[in-house]
Each structure stands twice: as C-alpha cells, then as structure tokens.
Amino acid sequence: MKTINIRHLSNWLLLLLAAMTSLVHASTADHKTFEQLNGPFHKAQEVTKACLECHTQAGEQIQASTHWTWEHKQTSSDEIYGKKNVVNNFCISTASNEPRCTSCHTGYGWKDNQFDFTKQESIDCLVCHDQSGQYRKFPTAAGHPNYVDTEWPVGSGKILPAVDLAKSAQSVATPEVKNCGSCHFFGGGGDAVKHGDMDSSLNTASPELDVHLAKDGANLKCQDCHTTSAHITQGSRYSMNAKDTSGIDIPGHTDMSRATCESCHSAAPHQGSREAVRLNQHAENVACQTCHIPEFAREKATKTFWDWSTAGDKKRPMTKDEWGNPLYDPKKGDFVWQKNVIPEYACFNGEIDYTTVGEKVVPNADGVIELTKVQGVCGEEGTRIWPFKVMKGKQPYDVKNQLMITPHLFGKDDAAYWKSYDWVAAATAGMAATGLEFGGEMAFVDTDYHFPITHMVAPAEKALECQDCHSKDGRMAKIAGFYIPGRDDALGGNSQYLWWLVALTVLGVALHGLLRFFARPQGKE
C-alpha cells in the first residue's frame, strides 16, 4: 500500500485552506447596510470613529503594531529599529519630513514630532480594508486622503478626484494584495524604488514572476504568509527568522506566527529525486530565497543608486531612462535603475545593525559608510546564506560630529531643501528637529543599505543550478570564511602541486610499463 507523505499532505491542506478562504465572502457582514457608514464624512477620522463603535478592540490592537509605532525590537537585543529612527540612503530620514514620509503611515496627521499616538481616531482603517478602488492617501498630506479635487503632481494639470469616504467605508473587507502594496510597493518615493522584490507588478503577477501571488499559481494573499492576529502582522526586515527549524505551521496545532518558507514547505522541502537529500542538506546553510529568487526586479526596474550630491542644479534638465524612470531630478540628484538584478549574498542570522539618527559612524577602509551591517557568520547556528538588494548612495555627512545628516527636505518653510536648495539650511533644520546640532562642515559620503530579498519567488525550474554557485566566478565568489567545492582550492592555493603529483604518477606508471615490456624474458609474450 502506498504510504502518505505527511509533509505533502500538510502543504495541500494549507493550500486548500487558502483556496477555501478566497471563495468565501471576505467579510461576515455587508457594511453597506450599516447606517453609521452612510456618511457624509468630512474627514477620515470620522470613518475611524464609526469603525470603532463595533470593532471595540481594534484600536488598541493597531496601536500595539509596528504599522502604527514604526518601531520593532530585535529578537536578541534591546535595539529598537524602525522608520521612525533609522537612516537610509533613499529619502534619508523621517525626522522633519513627516508630512511626506507618513503618507504611508497607517494613521492620519503625523506631520511633526508632536503626533499623538494615543488617539485612536487617528488610525487609518481604510488603507488596509478599502475595496472600492478609489481610496488613496495623498502623497504630501501626512497620511490623509485628499478631501477635494487636487492637482498632482503640482503643475501637471492632472487632477486627483476627492476620495468618497462613505463609499470606502461601505466597501471594507479583508485586505487584498493591492492594499498592502499601496504602501509597500511604493516605498522610497515611487513604484519599485525601494525593495526591488516588491512593486506594483505583483498586483497582477504571473507564475513566472511570483508563484505564490499569481492568480494562475498558488493565488495567495500577503497575509497567507504574513499571518495576522489581533492586527499584529508577522514578518519584518528589522528582525527576521533567517533559519526556521520549527517546520510546518499547522492550523490548530501551532500558533501561525511565522512568516517563513519552512512554515509551509517544511525544513526538508525537496522530495522525489536522487538530488533531494543533497538539496535538503543545502537548506541547512542556504536560504530558500537564495536559489529560488535568481533575480529580482524582473518586470519593473528598481533604483540601485541615489546620488544626493548632484541635486540642486536647476539648469540641468530632467532626464529619463528607457523604462521611463527619472535619471536626474534637480530636487533629488542622479539615479541608476536596473532590471533582472542578481542579488548580493551574505551570511545572515536574521538581524541587521541599522544606523540610527544621532549614531556616530565613520567610513570603512573603502571609504563607504555601511548604514546596515548584516549580522551572522556562516556555520553558526541560525545563520544561512541570504540574498540582498544592496542600495548604493551618496548623501550628506556631518564631518565634525561624525553623524549622518538628517536633512529637512520637505516642507513649505524656507529651510526645506526642495524649496531653498540650500544644504546647510536643510541640515541645520533637520538636525535640530531630532535634538541634534549640525557641526557646520558637510561632506557627501558613499553609503550602502541592505534589503533582504524574499519576494518574487520563481518557478522551481528557474531555480539556480549547481554551477551558478560552485564555480570560480559564481554567485558565492564574495562569500568568505568557508570552503565551497568548485569555487575554492581544496589545498589552499597549492593545488598546482597536486596536478604535478598526478602527472608524475602517470609518468611513473608509464615508465614502469615500458621497463616491464623491455625487461621481459626473450621468447615469452
């Protein structure tokens, strides 16, 4: 009798559960029938108050979430990281630029450092739950939608119609990919700018782009992996599970709290071939994403370099690349965009040391300030080889105080860089907003910033082949500290002597044969 593979059965059960969920109406109530949601609503906070009349615990749950606090505590330390305090090489810092940055906050009105995080009516329920298709946060309104018809971009002649809040409130249901993507796909100021493995192409992903989100593939939603309970969503790049040894997360038996490949596919995912055992051994030291995401930004180009030092030249024309992405913007400087990007690889234990506002930093031996330092040593428990997008940048640095400058970029005041084009004024105002003093001497320094790659999983047949890594110039060429067959010299640089030994052995065998031939007794074969 044929035996049942429990791992495969569990996978099928999880996929069946996801499929059944998608067939059921996304909500247990028709919100069009609720009088509280008829409106009219003049401000978005009025919708939130109506939501909280029934969802009495939702406010406290959201306020405990990373989506609200923009903070995340790392697992093995007391370090608190998040959009609130981390310095990056995209838009650099939230501080003093809140009305622009917080257009992706799950709240309304975070326009400066006086925002009241205790006010539940400031929570944005609609950004995650609207299914009307017309709700949007206005890019410069501190998280608010536009309440009147508004021209955007300014001077373009294009009008964004006012959001119909009642229509949005009556449409609410469980989040779709487009809800999550409304912020996560557009981080860093535009579509595909920031992460590289998340952009709007995932809204209509083909199986070739992402086997999980594709309608013709697994047809999953974000929360099928990023499981959510009491509005706490699992999975954060600020503290990741780089090596999950707990296996499959089975509903009713485990807590569904792990956004990892192993929680669906197990720690031994390869079956049915002679190579499966060896591949599963690889999974001990190599992340699933390393082999199964051979390239990222496969449909839309992602930004890979941002040079702030060239900003401010108003006489220089704006230019675009072959995909329509800006190559130069007087407000922001020069950019480089790439498609089908091969990741960089590092040994990763799930934690990254991020540079925070006010933290002293100095360039490394190559003259680069590492805004992120990937933690982990290959071979150590909990560490595996992971793929990363490494964003390159050139941005302002306080030479005297050895601090990354947090410039005041956005605003209507004269100090805002996008109005004044004065770096000193922008640096002084931005640093003051964080309680720091600008030292007066500015330099533009090269920087690196790492993003773990975990989306855009390709079909199995597109996974990396052995030779992609096991070769002299393969993908693992820069990974140091351990031996990789095919890449490394097993004798530590002395392999030429081995080949000489082989040659001498062959020569000795040949000479021995010749001697035996000529020394044999005459007349005998």
pLDDT in tens, 66-94: 999 999 988 777 789 999 999 999 999 99
pTM confidence score: 0.88
Distance of alpha carbon 311 from alpha carbon 329, whole angstroms: 7
| Helical (H) or strand (E) element with 346 | strand 344-348
CB 368 within 8 A of CB 392: no
pLDDT of residue 379: 85
Distance of alpha carbon 86 from alpha carbon 84, whole angstroms: 6
Q: Long-range contact list for 155-163, CB < 8 A, 24+ apart?
A: 160/136, 161/134, 163/134, 163/135, 163/136
- Of residues 206 and 379, more confidently modeled: 206
Per-position DSSP letters for 46-59, written without gaps between them: HHHHHHHHH-TTHH
Secondary structure string (H, E, C) spanning 434-474: CCCCCCCCEEEEEEEEEEECCCCCCCHHHCCCHHHHCCCCC
Distance of alpha carbon 144 from alpha carbon 45, whole angstroms: 9
pLDDT in tens, 268-278: 999 887 889 99
User: Residue 229: how many CB atoms within 10 A of its CB?
Assistant: 11
**Judging by beta carbons within 10 Å of its beta carbon (0-12, 13-18, 19+), is residue 517 exposed, middle or buried?**
exposed
CB 7 within 8 A of CB 248: yes
Distance of alpha carbon 10 from alpha carbon 221, whole angstroms: 19
pLDDT bin (cut points 50, 70, 90) of residue 24 is very low
Mean pLDDT within 355-380: 96
- Would the pLDDT of 294 be above 80? yes
- Which phi and psi (to 5°) does residue 452 adopt? -60, 135
pLDDT in tens, 104-161: 999 999 999 999 999 999 999 999 999 999 999 999 999 999 999 999 998 999 999 9
